[in-house]
Structure 1
Amino acid sequence: MTVQIGRPIGNCMGECIDVTQGQEGECMGRFLRVPVKLDITKPLKRGTKISLPSGQQEWVDFRYERLPDLCYNCKRMGHIMGDFTFVDEVVKSAKDKPYGSFLRVIHDFVKPWSTSPKRARN
């Protein structure tokens, strides 16, 4: 992946702020970190199709860091499933719910506790 591919992907999600890259301009292999300004009143996107320089069409999955409460039913942030005050026909008739916890980025390398040694008491 390259910055040239990352910017249009970011703009598809919202307003692309940047494409994170290494010191030599490389990205993270098949992955990109693209900070994006999102309109939180609209449903989140699961992904998009992009055209590669070779002309081939490819589906790109989106993952979101620091994602707050997300309703998997209406695809909007700020509440969880069943806890919304608006209901439209699309939400009422939704049989398959293509949204789930897989949209969240989970960092396995972050430990939730400190590993520093304890001080001895005298």
Structure 2
Amino acid sequence: MENLLKIGRMAGFALEIDFIVPSEGVWRRYIQVKVEVDVNCPFVPGFPLERDHLPDLWIHFKYEKLGNFCFGCDLLGHD
């Protein structure tokens, strides 16, 4: 849990963690971290996870329930 909170803090202020196991669909299992973010700052797309004796692994953040979002500048308010 401590590591998950650290990961959540990379995107903002981590509030809550939930382990999701849907019965079907593309996402088999994933972790949902509820994070409070400053919407005036660019969103963090993810981070490289360093691993011993292996290449870094890109951990992608998926944001939910956003309004107009620009994938060019990573800000809310326009698309």
Question: Considering the TM-score relative to the shorter chain, is it more than 0.5?
Answer: yes
Tell me the TM-score normalized by structure 1: 0.50
Relative contact order (alpha carbons < 8 A, sep ≥ 6): 1 or 2 greater? 2
CA shift in 2, pair 1:50/1:8, >3 Å: farther
Unaligned regions of 5+ residues in structure 2, if any?
22-27
Distance 2:15 2:49 in 1: 19
Count of residues paired in the alignment: 72
Distance 2:42 2:59 in 1: 17
Tell me the TM-score normalized by structure 2: 0.72
Larger radius of gyration: 1
Q: Which residue of 2 aligns with 1:31?
A: 30
Q: Which residue of 2 aligns with 1:12?
A: 10
Q: Which residue of 1 aligns with 2:25?
A: none
Identity, % of aligned pairs? 25
Q: CA RMSD in A?
A: 2.4
The Cα shift of 1:55 comes to: 8.0
CA shift in 2, pair 1:73/1:37, >3 Å: same
Unaligned regions of 5+ residues in structure 1, if any?
22-26, 81-122
Q: Which residue of 2 aligns with 1:72?
A: 71
Q: Which residue of 2 aligns with 1:49?
A: 48
